[in-house]
Structure 1
């Protein structure tokens, strides 16, 4: 009986923020996969173990959640004033589909370290001790990310005492600056608020008319009020993910919001664009117990936010959605800003299912248009395994 031997590809399995993914250097991929297209997608699907009708990704590197079904391709940047080009692929779990429509803010924290270790950064730009400032070109959305990577004795420092809710163990702090984070999405005209409104009336058949803040910042995101859909904002994963009707409702909201944002032309296209936009619901601060058992006091946060990724409530918060939260919070009158108490602010601490997160953003209004020069937050990253990943030829 004939069989296909396995091929092996150099790869690194990394945690970045509250996500995990398989990292590749572009030059290490098989030639056919070094270009965008079906061959690349087929390879990454097989690496991760998708599509899996069982939803477990047992025969691959995926972890059966949107946070752990991720791939990254990096190459030395050909762009001036950048060190590395970063391409992110969100791999569907039960479908043969890789979504390239957005960034992963959490895995952005691991890009700088991988680039340094993978020889993509000019050694003259990397101090033996101190902080390396790595200039990342985020190729999915055409934006710059600045990563501040701690260095000790000529190597990336991964261990430390920085604690990130949603990650069990402490590590070294990596500060990320998302420059000019308003996403230039096709059909959205590059506008931070593609509808031209801070708050819209979004008509969703079968659900009603919802107030919504629809913003392109970090990643296209639709914010709605928790109480408008029967929630408090203190919910944990099981409450939402165990409720098929709730998940269907959020997907319907996402589809109709995507049309209003100009990201798709009709709701039928939403199934082929699962990574973006995100849907999140917000509420004023309230006390709750996080998924780890940690008690979050109302006075420790400015607002509550819960967000869905790839059709499920996220266990913590997507990094790109955190950028959207920080940006929207900085603009008076958005639903995020109002949930946080309104007024002007340049930072916000929000409660999510795993705990809290602080993100900073400074908004300015010129000629009636809002803009944000950068959003800042801290994450951490660590190499979990390095070597070769194997897939059937």
Structure 2
């Protein structure tokens, strides 16, 4: 029996923030995968090593977590006044599914670096030394993101002393601005309320702030779901009943936010919305053993991604946190002590993160001009990724 040999596709394996993924230049993809559809999804699934019933992604580039089962496709921008189009695909681990419904804020930090190194940014816009401003069109949610990428002697500066909790080694700081981060075309608060009563049959009723900013997110109070807000991954990810309960809450929240028509559709929209729970600041020990003082944070936040508690914080969820914190009366704002604020530092399982946002109320509607945070990024490997030629 004859078998189709492997093909190789130019690719770069990159870390961005607390995530990592496989980056592609659109023009380097096989022709069938240069357009959206089944062939592209099948190719990316095989690259990452999904679906894997063992949950390990051993036969692919994935790392068997939501943070490491990611793909990015970049191209010269089709939009005026932008440099690069950025398309993100969240690859399911145990299912044959690529979710295109949202952005990855962490990998956004690597987009500018890849775009510069791949010649997708006009040379005249790149300084020999200093900061390159890369204008990114986030094609999943149709929003503008600005990445400020450090340059040294005409090359992207990746090494540095910027430390990011959730990442072991320091690197160069990349400041990322999410412009008008309300997700999609709808209202920032799709129900029209800062705090809703979310009824979840068979589970209960919860106070919830449901917001479209960075990524659609459902914020709950930690004590209402049985937690104190300082939990680490093992406290939740080893509890199948808790994970199932959160998934049910997520499904009913997605319906109330208008993201899906009925709860049965939630299984095909795993990437969004996110579910997070908040609590006032408290002392705790991070997953690395670092002691975090309640005096160093404004609130605690824990968030789930692709059905598991995240080891740190998704970048897009951090945008949602910063945005909600800037709006008096949301659960996030109240957990941080209430009042007006333009930045918060929150605790997460790996440590702390600061995010800023500029919010204003106009004709009874809240708007956020931008949210800002600092991440870092680094090329881990570059060359080609190989997959069987009949995999897509």
Q: Which band: TM-score by shorter chain? A: over 0.9
Describe how 1:48-67 pairs up with structure 2 within 5 A: 48-67=48-67
1:183: which partner in 2? 183
Structure 2, unmatched stretches of 5+, are none
Tell me how far apart the structure 1 counterparts of residues 122 and 3 of structure 2 sit (CA, whole Å).
43
Matched, 1:115 2:115: yes
For residues 145-200 of structure 1, what are the alpha-carbon distances to aligned partners after superposition, in whole Å with 9 as ceiling and x for unaligned? 0000000010000000000000000000000000000001xxxx510000000000
Shift of the alpha carbon at 1:33? 0.2
Structure 1, unmatched stretches of 5+, are none
Describe how 1:18-167 pairs up with structure 2 within 5 A: 18-167=18-167
Shift of the alpha carbon at 1:79? 1.0
Matched, 1:381 2:366: no
SS where residue 216 of structure 1 aligns? strand
Identify the match of residue 272 of structure 1 among 268, 273, 283.
Answer: 268
Size of the aligned set, in residue pairs, is: 389
Tell me how far apart the structure 1 counterparts of residues 358 and 325 of structure 2 sit (CA, whole Å).
9
SS where residue 105 of structure 2 aligns? coil
Matched, 1:256 2:252: yes
Shift of the alpha carbon at 1:207? 1.4
Identify the match of residue 332 of structure 1 among 306, 314, 328.
Answer: 328
SS where residue 35 of structure 1 aligns? coil
Instruction: State the TM-score, normalized to the length of structure 1.
Output: 0.99
Tell me how far apart the structure 1 counterparts of residues 85 and 155 of structure 2 sit (CA, whole Å).
21
Instruction: Report the RMSD for the aligned CA atoms in angstroms.
Output: 0.4
2:279: which partner in 1? 283
Matched, 1:367 2:360: no
Matched, 1:301 2:297: yes
SS where residue 107 of structure 1 aligns? helix
Tell me how far apart the structure 2 counterparts of residues 215 and 79 of structure 1 sit (CA, whole Å).
27
For residues 234-290 of structure 1, what are the alpha-carbon distances to aligned partners after superposition, in whole Å with 9 as ceiling and x for unaligned? 000001000000000000000000000000000000000000000000000000000
Shift of the alpha carbon at 1:78? 1.9
Tell me how far apart the structure 1 counterparts of residues 249 and 337 of structure 2 sit (CA, whole Å).
25
For residues 283-318 of structure 1, what are the alpha-carbon distances to aligned partners after superposition, in whole Å with 9 as ceiling and x for unaligned? 000000000000000000000000000000000000
Q: Which runs of 4+ in 1 moved over 3 A?
A: none
Tell me how far apart the structure 2 counterparts of residues 328 and 352 of structure 1 sit (CA, whole Å).
16
Tell me how far apart the structure 2 counterparts of residues 323 and 366 of structure 1 sit (CA, whole Å).
20
1:391: which partner in 2? 387
SS where residue 349 of structure 1 aligns? strand
For residues 332-357 of structure 1, what are the alpha-carbon distances to aligned partners after superposition, in whole Å with 9 as ceiling and x for unaligned? 00000000000000000000000000
Instruction: State the TM-score, normalized to the length of structure 2.
Output: 0.99
Shift of the alpha carbon at 1:362? 1.2
Matched, 1:351 2:347: yes
